[in-house]
Every structure is written in C-alpha cells, then in structure tokens.
Chain A
Amino acid sequence: KQEVTQIPAALSVPEGENLVLNCSFTDSAIYNLQWFRQDPGKGLTSLLLIQSSQREQTSGRLNASLDKSSGRSTLYIAASQPGDSATYLCAVGGTYNFNKFYFGSGTKLNVKP
C-alpha cells in the first residue's frame, strides 16, 4: 500500500521567505502527483499537477518537482505572503486503472507579516 509522508508537519516563516515543503511516497509506480491547499474548514484547492513523466510544474510563485525514482516531490513557494498561510497536502495518484489517490498528512504553513 502506498504511504505518503509530508515533512515538516508545521512551518512558521516570516513574510518574504522562500520555502520548501516535502512529500515522499513509498511506491514509485505512480500515475501523477497533485499538490493541494486547504484553508481551515474548507475543501481542497488544486495547486499543481505533475504527471509521472514530468519533472516539474510551475504556477506563479509555486514550483513543484517530482523525482519518481526516489519517491519525492517538493513544493517551492517563492517570496511567501501571509495569504499563503494554509495547510498544504500532496496526493499521489495510483495507476490509471487503480483510481486511488493517497494523501499525506499535510504541512501547516504560517507566514507571519
């Protein structure tokens, strides 16, 4: 069974810092990987999707990388802002026919003004 781990569990940084969130998974046979943001009491918002054949994806100040062979993905946030404060979740998608997505426990980010 796929296990997804996110480190650190919580992170507090001053505004303006660049930061890296980590996601690791045990089974490298993945179809894709998604990074999500969750605000308190809210649903999930998709940030970036990386297919298994890709190495990275970028959207604005966000950059996600994928190293399938080592079972790792990172989410890089540049020039962090207080509005970035949220919990960030990564989810690993199984093979096309498997349909399952496995979530990490998340990293709770607090960006201080």
Chain B
Amino acid sequence: GAVVSQHPSRVICKSGTSVKIECRSLDFQATTMFWYRQFPKQSLMLMATSNEGSKATYEQGVEKDKFLINHASLTLSTLTVTSAHPEDSSFYICSARELREAGANVLTFGAGSRLTVL
C-alpha cells in the first residue's frame, strides 16, 4: 500500500532557530500534500495545502512566513518552522493525496513529527 515517510519523528530545538520537516511519498506520486497540526488531546487542524510546483494554500490564521512550505517534486514536500518559539511546539503531520483508479481520493498519513521548542 501507499506509504508516506515523515522525518524527523522528533526534534528539539532552541527558541529562534528554524526547523525543517520532510514529507515523502515513497511509492506513489502526490501532486497534493497536506500539513496538519495537532495540539494535545485535540484533532487535526489543517494548516496548508501543498501543491507541486506552485505556492501552498494556507488556511485562515496560519502565518505563511512562519510556516514555509515547499513542494518541489511529486514525492517531497517540506515544512519549515521559522524562528521557532515555544508556542510552536506541537505534533505536525503530513498527508499525501493519492489518486487511485476510478478517481478515488485517498489520504495517506505520515507518522508525524513532534517538535519541542525550548
């Protein structure tokens, strides 16, 4: 089945530094990837939709300059948290949309990345 690899799974950084999280579709091409944020004991909040070769579409309230998204190829999207602060500490999950036969629209998720900003 489809696999999405997310790296790193855990990262701890100092306040003010930038952190990059990678999301790769391993055995399929993903023209669209999604980045979610999950706060403790809450559901997933869609941050942005990443489209290959074009700018990401951000959800209302998500700072574009804080969360930089790049989708340079059909198998890789990256999320960079710039000048991270403790309030950016969260669980970030990516997903890739796979188009199967008959136009089935299926989401496959990465394992998530736990970011802790000290």
CA distance A34 to B109 in the complex (A): 12
B34 touches A101 (CB 8 A): yes
B43 touches A103 (CB 8 A): yes
- For residue A41, which residues in chain B have a CB less than 8 angstroms away from its CB? 91, 112, 114
B34 touches A105 (CB 8 A): no
B49 touches A99 (CB 8 A): yes
- For chain B, the bracket of interface size reads 20 to 34
User: 29 A-B contacts, Cβ less than 8 Å apart?
Assistant: A31-B105, A32-B104, A32-B105, A32-B106, A34-B106, A36-B109, A41-B114, A42-B111, A42-B112, A43-B6, A43-B93, A43-B109, A43-B111, A44-B44, A44-B95, A44-B109, A46-B106, A46-B107, A49-B104, A49-B106, A89-B43, A93-B105, A93-B107, A99-B32, A99-B34, A99-B49, A100-B46, A101-B107, A103-B44
B97 touches A99 (CB 8 A): yes
- Describe A's contact surface by its main secondary structure: strand
| B49 to chain A: closest residue by CB | A99
> Which listed residue, B43, B49, B104, touches A105 by the CB 8 Å rule?
B43
CA distance A70 to B106 in the complex (A): 23
Instruction: Determine how close the nearest CB of chain B comes to the CB of A80; give it in whole angstroms.
Output: 22
> Which listed residue, A46, A51, A100, A106, touches B43 by the CB 8 Å rule?
A106
Instruction: Determine how close the nearest CB of chain A comes to the CB of B95; give it in whole angstroms.
Output: 8
**Interface set of B (CB-CB < 8 Å, partner A):** 6, 32, 34, 42-44, 46, 49, 91, 93, 95, 97, 103-112, 114
CA distance A26 to B26 in the complex (A): 35
A104 touches B105 (CB 8 A): no
- For residue A49, which residues in chain B have a CB less than 8 angstroms away from its CB? 104, 106
- For chain A, the bracket of interface size reads 20 to 34
**Interface set of A (CB-CB < 8 Å, partner B):** 31-32, 34, 36, 41-46, 49, 51, 89, 91, 93, 96, 99-101, 103-106
| B57 to chain A: closest residue by CB | A99
| A104 to chain B: closest residue by CB | B43
Question: Lowest 6 CB-CB distances: which A-B pairs, in order?
Answer: A43-B111, A44-B109, A43-B112, A105-B43, A103-B43, A103-B44
